[in-house]
């Protein structure tokens, strides 16, 4: 979708949070953002500049704008699997544009990796999944829900390092109801991480709906007999682990269904 903001061009020079950067090339665009690879003479590696702008219809809304996204990312810097930011500020000449400078993931996002390689090798897939879940655990302890965990928001830095980025849909967690392990938003982040794991292992999500219908561990061999691509890529235990992440009434989590009023 085209944006109402004209993107920067290769060679444009900007100062963001004290970094004198030069636009190298644009790598992504959408209705609310442009993303560029940039050069910073004081930094040996290339960096990413993401500019987030408000749509005219959203002008009065704070939620979802670049400052919120930057501040959320900035508050979560104390974890190795969260994309590092080097600073952020509004564009001095056009304050609708909020500029976020961050580290560059050379392999791009996980969606691009899956498009290129089809899937991710077994041990690497589990390693990336562990890193995603570790970063989510940290975010949730900091009372932030990511709200948009998906392959396109996981950034791959090397064969051994994946990081969570794109905090534009993040929000402060609702208080966790007494006696419950986590909020629904936190649960949804973890379910989305398990979808990423399934995509990394199998290469697609065909069969995930069928897996969700498997009632208990005893049903896994039947599922695997019908889904040879899953059977080739994981053990029954792995498969059941992924299935459990989608458990509708996972203990301690608020049910999405309305509960009966309590009898008094």
Ligand X SMILES: Nc1ncnc2c1ncn2[C@@H]1O[C@H](COP(=O)(O)OP(=O)(O)OP(=O)(O)O)[C@@H](O)[C@H]1O
Bridge partner list, 231 = none
Binding test (CB under 6 A) with ligand X, winner from 168, 199, 227, 230: 168
Nearest approach in angstroms of CB 2 to ligand X is 14
- How large is the angle between the packed helices 110-117 and 184-202, nearest 10 degrees? 20
> Encoding tokens for residue 92?
């001095």
Quickly list H helices, the chain. Answer: 66-75, 110-117, 122-141, 184-202, 208-212, 220-226, 228-233, 236-244
Binding test (CB under 6 A) with ligand X, winner from 16, 34, 50, 246: 50
The interface region with Mg ion, picked from 8-16, 97-105, 165-173, 207-215 by CB under 5 A, is: 165-173
58 touches ligand X by CB under 6 A: no
The interface region with Mg ion, picked from 31-39, 121-129, 161-169, 210-218 by CB under 5 A, is: 161-169
Nearest approach in angstroms of CB 48 to ligand X is 4
Are 132 and 177 in contact by the 8 Å Cβ rule? The answer is no
108 touches ligand X by CB under 6 A: yes
Nearest approach in angstroms of CB 9 to ligand X is 18
Residue whose C-beta lies closest to Mg ion: 166
> Which residue pairs from 42-47 have beta carbons closer than 8 angstroms and sit at least 24 positions apart in sequence?
43/19, 43/86, 45/103, 45/104, 46/104, 47/19, 47/21, 47/86, 47/101, 47/102, 47/103, 47/104
Closer Cβ to Mg ion, 69 or 186, answer by number: 69
Rg for the chain, CA atoms, rounded: 21
One character per residue 166-205, x = contact with Mg ion (rule: CB under 5 A) = x---------------------------------------
Q: For binding to Mg ion (CB under 5 A), which residues are involved? A: 152-153, 166
Q: For binding to ligand X (CB under 6 A), which residues are involved? A: 27-28, 30, 33, 35, 48, 50, 83, 102, 104-105, 108-109, 112, 152-153, 155, 165-166, 168
């Amino acid at each position: 979708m085209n944006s109402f903001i004209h993107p920067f061009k290769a060679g444009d020079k900007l100062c963001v949070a004290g970094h004198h950067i030069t636009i190298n090339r644009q790598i992504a665009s959408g209705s609310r953002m442009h993303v560029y690879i940039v050069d910073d003479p004081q930094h040996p590696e290339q960096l990413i500049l993401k500019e987030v702008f408000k749509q005219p219809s959203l002008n009065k809304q704070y939620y979802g704008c670049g400052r919120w996204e930057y501040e959320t990312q900035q508050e979560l810097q104390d974890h190795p699997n969260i994309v590092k930011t080097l600073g952020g500020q509004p564009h001095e000449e056009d304050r609708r544009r909020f500029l976020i400078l961050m580290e560059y993931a050379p392999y791009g996002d996980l969606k691009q990796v899956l498009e290129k390689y089809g899937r991710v090798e077994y041990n690497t897939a589990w390693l990336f999944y562990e890193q995603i879940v570790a970063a989510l655990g940290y975010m949730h302890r900091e009372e932030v829900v990511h709200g948009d965990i998906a392959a396109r928001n996981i950034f791959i830095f090397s064969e051994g390092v994946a990081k969570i980025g794109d905090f534009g849909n993040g929000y402060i967690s609702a208080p966790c109801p007494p006696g419950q392990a986590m909020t629904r938003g936190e649960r949804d982040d973890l379910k989305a991480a398990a979808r990423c794991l399934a995509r990394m292992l199998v290469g697609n999500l065909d069969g995930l709906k069928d897996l969700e219908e498997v009632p208990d561990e005893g049903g896994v061999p039947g599922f695997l007999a019908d889904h040879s691509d899953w059977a080739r890529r994981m053990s029954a235990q792995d498969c059941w682990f992924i299935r459990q992440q989608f458990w509708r009434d996972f203990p301690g989590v608020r049910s999405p269904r309305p509960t009966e009023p309590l009898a008094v």
